[in-house]
Structure 1
């Protein structure tokens, strides 16, 4: 059988360090942070080192986290192939990886190199397959020599440095055939044999808790069984290892330690003499023509659980072996009681917990707008350690599947609600209302009423349990600045939690929040200016009648507030006095308004009489003057009355302002 003829130097591939041993995996710790701590250990002889294979994607983590425990040895170093070992190994060589395909292509890639073959030496010029064997051509001092090599004969390179580099290239080519892992070697020196261990922390698939929750009929003990789904992607079989499952929240990072990183540097140009450039003179040219007018711009384009009734009571659920639990701050580890074997690439589902927890089945309302409440169970973690996150399949006491529930991490003695279905037999409906109730009033300078009111927001929840009895848990949102007027069993991310017992009959639960509000209510309209400086002759009194002190706007607002204010409310007496004063101002303002209207009528009559007197002659002129005198007297009398009525109103307003000053 014809075999590929490799160079003797290439056949002597460098082996791993003498005496290097691959220590077996003794323990594995899996974390829910996506990490795996692999502990290897064994007995090493004085001159022995350690070698082990690592998946390519885990090399960075191994370089970052490897911890070696050796009671008497000294670490001389760790080595592993380059990340791109094939490229690095062939850099500067006269051949490429493809040249190792067969002996002819390998030898032809070495043409021109001095070699020794068949008792002759010279430079290799060609190689080809022949019937008798491999025929090569050598260039010797005396000319070309043709040689036919048979199986087992060697072609030896005369350059030992090139032979060594080819050997390393062949080694790299063999290692590259398994590009998904790397061989790490640790050199140690010790005076005697001893027990050595090394630990590494690498990325790994999450171990995933899988819970089974068996509920009591109403209240009692629920049985919680925990199974862990684990996957071995470490690159090494786990044979009888101690397996620990950790739940915590560590900070975990990655860093590219295995990847060659080149720092970019600014490149400076080679300095040369500055070139002298001269623009040739081409002579004068005609002046350029004026620009054409710009074209007009174009218009823009328009643009109840499913239950299989059991015929007989199911057999009890099988017990699970208890894991050894160790808890520290923020971390809990479950160490399985028996050694575990999981081959590389396998997935296993391993039991780690079997606990009885106090439980109560409840109805749970998270959304007040929902038509039905959730079926849920309240669990208390009496296991003595934290239960990690996971999904629980929920079953009733008869073994019927009820639904799935999300279990978030539960500290010892904490209580959690787990909802697993919606109860369509219980009906809900809700409504909301809001009202303000004044409780106190205070008058301030400038006839400003400061009103303190209690705002009450209420949500009513009607519940029809249709004969069902049990506990109803209602979660309500917080309302900033408001105080709940109902009992609060707990507070958390869910808001405020209220609990009530249902006795089978429809019931309405009311949830009220109250907050104190303060509002400034101006009784007088300051938009017209100081009322003591107003002159009725400069103001359209009829148009501004509602805005003037005593006008209907302020008085009606004050009377409405007074009706809502309780009889024993602080400040009510002052508000009543202010309302009485405004009532008197209203009466006087009405009187002044009537007097002003009469004065306006008299002024209009005086104007007509004056015009008539100017247009008459003779006897008619005398009559017109008599009427003019009468109209003038009437205008003076009604104007004086209007002035008196306006001043009486202003005195009442001044008294009101003094009372509120």
Structure 2
């Protein structure tokens, strides 16, 4: 008997094998840009069909277990059944046969040695099985002895143990399933609620290759007004679902849906602590060494206690009890969180689509006319030639997914010609995008930058002049496009802390976007940014406790005098601000008066310094004269005294002159301090 005949016999023997469920065809597929596919299966189910089934790739089982939805309008869903992940291990667990025993009928019957079988009118236990030249030799052990049978084609061997026969039949069915280890057959059990056929649908989500949009963009020529671009979208679709798509509804979804995976099909065994088995405690017994002679009592012995009863040297062993532990429950799986950025758009193809399993198709899904303008685009100011680009407005009602666009010309010498490739970014409805596809070396540009600043207002404060400056940063673009007319779009940097003195078309990651018309001759474009900057000019050292010290003799002439009002060379800085300050600028009159007072104080400070230096020289001469009087004697000493008197008079006179100069300076410096908020 051939092997397949025996296998069919075993399958027929089992009364527990479920009837083959009806397989529902794929009716609709929704491919998502998140790498997922929603598969819709539907079909009529008869009242007597207890289940429906379908085959899917093994990699999709986890996704199906988490997402399957069944709609049965006249029944109830009993649940989903599928073979174990490790078919061989589970199907043959506890059976006397293994998967390798199914290689031949002799090996299968040999594995069943000892089992009771019936062959025609003969019954017995299998003792031996071997292949002969024309038949299978089967030896049975009967109550009366051994019986050898020659089994030929279509002769039946029946297992008399019905339960074992059913289990072997299920193992054989699982073995057939294992022939395609990359797929699994899922069965959905139904309990009908009406005695009539009904339409049952299944939907589930599984991983799938991304559908990839590719665009064909036909652009207008440079300088065309009110032009349009034709955008044609094609989708690259791959059928890796394991089932044919025959006349299905196909939807292409663009969005950003959250997607997770979880190993629901893989058996998970939680580790548990193992407790030792506890027995009774160890019993220690000392051997009996016999009694010893009792010594005589002492003379004044106390009454002897009553003789102790014979003690038993056996103690009960402590009872020990086994402990038990309860394993913690597995933590619940985290819930999925959906997120979207540009929204969700579905392109539902109008015509049914047929794609066989394993095939790739390129399908058109969009043909739209978009308002467009051909422009030059300067992305980098440091470059030399602009990009050729088209500015398109998505005036459809749906977002356009990102993809690669092949650009063709529409008119003139460019008509029907390939112009370049471009990256079409995701574009929501109503928004504008620039799409660059080539570089135009016939157009050149050069960039120059300059910075300039001018005071716009002043304010007099305590010991200082606060100047507000307006800093201007200018970018100049010299463009030579020959005689071609058109519009140039320029992306300028967004300068932090500066306000543009122009109105940009848009602001974004590209910076500030502006545009200008090129008149067909070399032209210069210019843009300015403005920034306010504060400058402070101190009138005296702010660390001074008193800007007008009453006594000058305690000051260091070269160190301290420079810290006083009029003592520093700030007059030139103040005059420079006044020269550049506009006539109508706030604080200009106050600054002019302050400069006049500061100039007077500065002049008097110079006079004081001269007087102070003369007094210092007179003081030094006086000191030398005193030393000469002490060093000389006689007539020389008298002459030294005369010189000492003259030096003393000179020192007094120069000191008085320095005092008058200091007082004059203080009077003028007081006006500076007063104007400076002191």
TM-score (norm 2): 0.82
The answer to whether 1:37 aligns with 2:53 is: no
What is residue 168 of structure 2 aligned with on the other side?
166
What is residue 258 of structure 1 aligned with on the other side?
265
For 1:125-140, list aligned pairs within 5 A. Answer: 128-131=130-133, 133-134=135-136
What is residue 497 of structure 1 aligned with on the other side?
513
The answer to whether 1:206 aligns with 2:210 is: yes
What is residue 468 of structure 2 aligned with on the other side?
452
What is residue 225 of structure 1 aligned with on the other side?
232
Q: Deviation digits for residues 377-415 of structure 1, max 9, x if unmatched?
A: 122334443332222111112211000122223333433
Q: Is the 8 A contact 1:613 1:625 kept in 2?
A: yes
- Higher mean C-alpha deviation, range 187-196 or range 555-564: 555-564
* 1:248 aligned residue (228, 248, 255): 255
User: Kindly tell me: are residues 86 and 450 of structure 1, through their superposed partners in 2, closer, same or farther at Cα, counting changes over 3 Å?
Assistant: farther
SS of the aligned residue for 2:570 comes to helix
For 1:581-592, list aligned pairs within 5 A. Answer: 581-592=597-608
Paired with 1:20 and 1:558, the residues of 2 have a C-alpha distance of 99
- Higher mean C-alpha deviation, range 376-385 or range 59-68: 376-385
Q: Deviation digits for residues 342-380 of structure 1, max 9, x if unmatched?
A: 100111111222222222211111111111111111223
User: Kindly tell me: are residues 50 and 120 of structure 1, through their superposed partners in 2, closer, same or farther at Cα, counting changes over 3 Å?
Assistant: closer
For 1:170-569, list aligned pairs within 5 A. Answer: 170-188=172-190, 189-191=192-194, 192-218=196-222, 219=224, 220-266=227-273, 330-397=343-410, 398-445=415-462, 447-527=463-543, 529-533=545-549, 536-543=552-559, 545-569=561-585
Paired with 1:110 and 1:626, the residues of 2 have a C-alpha distance of 150
User: Kindly tell me: are residues 229 and 210 of structure 1, through their superposed partners in 2, closer, same or farther at Cα, counting changes over 3 Å?
Assistant: same
SS of the aligned residue for 2:603 comes to helix
Deviation at 1:501, TM superposition (A): 1.0
**How many corresponding residue pairs?**
604
- Higher mean C-alpha deviation, range 167-176 or range 593-602: 167-176
User: Kindly tell me: are residues 589 and 12 of structure 1, through their superposed partners in 2, closer, same or farther at Cα, counting changes over 3 Å?
Assistant: farther
Q: Deviation digits for residues 401-453 of structure 1, max 9, x if unmatched?
A: 000122223333433221111100000110112222211111112x1222212
Paired with 1:424 and 1:522, the residues of 2 have a C-alpha distance of 55
User: Kindly tell me: are residues 649 and 148 of structure 1, through their superposed partners in 2, closer, same or farther at Cα, counting changes over 3 Å?
Assistant: farther
Unaligned runs of 5+ residues in structure 1 are: 276-328
Q: Is the 8 A contact 1:228 1:352 kept in 2?
A: yes
User: Kindly tell me: are residues 572 and 466 of structure 1, through their superposed partners in 2, closer, same or farther at Cα, counting changes over 3 Å?
Assistant: same
What is residue 318 of structure 2 aligned with on the other side?
none
User: Kindly tell me: are residues 176 and 627 of structure 1, through their superposed partners in 2, closer, same or farther at Cα, counting changes over 3 Å?
Assistant: same
Unaligned runs of 5+ residues in structure 2 are: 283-341
SS of the aligned residue for 1:392 comes to strand
Q: Is the 8 A contact 1:20 1:50 kept in 2?
A: yes
User: Kindly tell me: are residues 615 and 481 of structure 1, through their superposed partners in 2, closer, same or farther at Cα, counting changes over 3 Å?
Assistant: closer
Q: Is the 8 A contact 2:13 2:165 kept in 1?
A: no
Q: Is the 8 A contact 1:484 1:514 kept in 2?
A: yes
SS of the aligned residue for 1:526 comes to coil
User: Kindly tell me: are residues 413 and 15 of structure 1, through their superposed partners in 2, closer, same or farther at Cα, counting changes over 3 Å?
Assistant: farther
Paired with 1:271 and 1:549, the residues of 2 have a C-alpha distance of 99
- Higher mean C-alpha deviation, range 453-462 or range 264-273: 264-273
Paired with 2:277 and 2:441, the residues of 1 have a C-alpha distance of 84
- Higher mean C-alpha deviation, range 28-37 or range 542-551: 542-551
What is residue 73 of structure 1 aligned with on the other side?
75
- Higher mean C-alpha deviation, range 384-393 or range 206-215: 384-393
User: Kindly tell me: are residues 654 and 38 of structure 1, through their superposed partners in 2, closer, same or farther at Cα, counting changes over 3 Å?
Assistant: same
Paired with 2:471 and 2:40, the residues of 1 have a C-alpha distance of 65
Paired with 1:16 and 1:209, the residues of 2 have a C-alpha distance of 47
Q: Deviation digits for residues 288-307 of structure 1, max 9, x if unmatched?
A: xxxxxxxxxxxxxxxxxxxx
What is residue 22 of structure 2 aligned with on the other side?
21
Q: Deviation digits for residues 528-557 of structure 1, max 9, x if unmatched?
A: 553334854444322455443213433233
Deviation at 1:223, TM superposition (A): 2.0
User: Kindly tell me: are residues 593 and 246 of structure 1, through their superposed partners in 2, closer, same or farther at Cα, counting changes over 3 Å?
Assistant: same
Paired with 1:464 and 1:78, the residues of 2 have a C-alpha distance of 72
Paired with 1:535 and 1:90, the residues of 2 have a C-alpha distance of 114
What is residue 301 of structure 1 aligned with on the other side?
none
The structure having more radius of gyration, on CA atoms, is: 2
SS of the aligned residue for 1:532 comes to coil
Paired with 1:217 and 1:498, the residues of 2 have a C-alpha distance of 21
Q: Is the 8 A contact 2:69 2:203 kept in 1?
A: yes
What is residue 337 of structure 2 aligned with on the other side?
none
SS of the aligned residue for 2:351 comes to coil
Q: Is the 8 A contact 2:34 2:259 kept in 1?
A: yes
SS of the aligned residue for 1:542 comes to helix
SS of the aligned residue for 2:558 comes to coil
